[in-house]
Amino acid sequence: MKVIVDQNKCVASGQCVLATPEVFDQREEDGIVVLLTENPPEHLADDVRQAAVLCPAQAIWMEEQEKNE
């Protein structure tokens, strides 16, 4: 799973941080999203998906990578 954020679309709502603090943070000065890791571990996939769905600015995407095995 690869996570992509668009800082220009982000409205600093912090919903992603509430959903998955392991993956998202907000900039100190204006609260715009900061991605802590582009490739979070699989066990966080559901939480990241929840963040992407809830984001009120539609600023988060996930690229699910095909598993090799």
Partner 1 sequence: MKRIVIVGASAAGLTAAETLRRRGYGADLTLIGADPRPPYDRPPLSKQILTGSWPAERIALRSPQELARLEADLRLGRSATALDVAGRRVRLSDGESIGFDGLLIATGVAPRRLPDSDLAGVHVLRTLDDALALRAALLAGSRVVVVGGGFLGTEVAAAARTMGLQVTVVEPEPVPVRRPFGDRIGALVADLHRHHGTRLRCGVPVHRLRDTGGRVTGVELSDGTTLPADVIVLAVGSAPATGWLTGSGLSLSNGVVCDALCQAAPGIYAAGDVASWHNPRFGTRMRLEHRMNATEQAMAASGNLLGDAVPFAPVPYFWTDQYDTRIQAYGIFPPGAEPRIVHGDPSNGHFVAAYGHDGVVAGVLGWNSPRETRTLRRLVVERTSWTAFTTAPTLSPATVN
CA-nearest of 41, 15, 3, 59 to 25 is 15
Q: Cβ of 53: how many Cβ atoms within 10 Å?
A: 11
Contacting partner 1 (CB under 8 A), which of 1, 31, 35, 62? 31
62 φ/ψ angles, rounded to the nearest 5 degrees: -125, 135
Q: What are residue 63's DSSP bridge partners?
A: 2
For ligand SF4, what does the binding mask look like between residues 6 and 45, x meaning CB under 6 A? ----xxxxxxx-------x-x------x------------
Q: Which is nearer to ligand SF4, 56 or 64 (CB)?
A: 56
Please report, as ranges, the residues that interact with ligand SF4 according to CB under 6 A: 5, 10-16, 24, 26, 33, 55-57, 59-60
